Amino acid sequence: DTAVSQTPKYLVTQMGNDKSIKCEQNLGHDTMYWYKQDSKKFLKIMFSYNNKELIINETVPNRFSPKSPDKAHLNLHINSLELGDSAVYFCASSQGTSGSYNEQFFGPGTRLTVL
């Protein structure tokens, strides 16, 4: 039973295309996240949703649009893909609405390659 799953695992596409990455968690958590890991392994938060409501929206191009149909799913749609979007995208989830304790569970990642 995979706790946080992402599809696809690999995504190779041409510049200018539009693509989506899907994420699902079966942990019953109320908060989900998207992180981007660049080629140097640096991880940075992109978005966070709590109970389908956007709560964190970092400085990310508006070509990136997250969508959360319910609290178990958080999808990431990317328009007009650029070379610099090539990275590994990680979905994560956590439970809790207060305090600093925030153990996050990560999906396996989606490696996006833009040609």
Partner 1 sequence: GNSVTQMEGPVTLSEEAFLTINCTYTATGYPSLFWYVQYPGEGLQLLLKATKADDKGSNKGFEATYRKETTSFHLEKGSVQVSDSAVYFCALSDTGRRALTFGSGTRLQVQP
Three-class DSSP labels, 21-68: EEEEECCCCCEEEEEEECCCCCEEEEEEEECCEEEEECCCCCCEEEEE
Closest approach of Cβ 37 to partner 1, in Å? 9
- Asked if 36 and 43 touch (Cβ cutoff 8 Å), the reply is yes
Residues at the contact surface with partner 1, assessed by CB under 8 A? 31, 33, 35, 40-45, 48, 50, 55-56, 90, 92, 94, 96, 99-109
**Minimum CB distance to partner 1 smaller for 69 or for 99:** 99
Closest approach of Cβ 80 to partner 1, in Å? 26
Closest approach of Cβ 19 to partner 1, in Å? 20
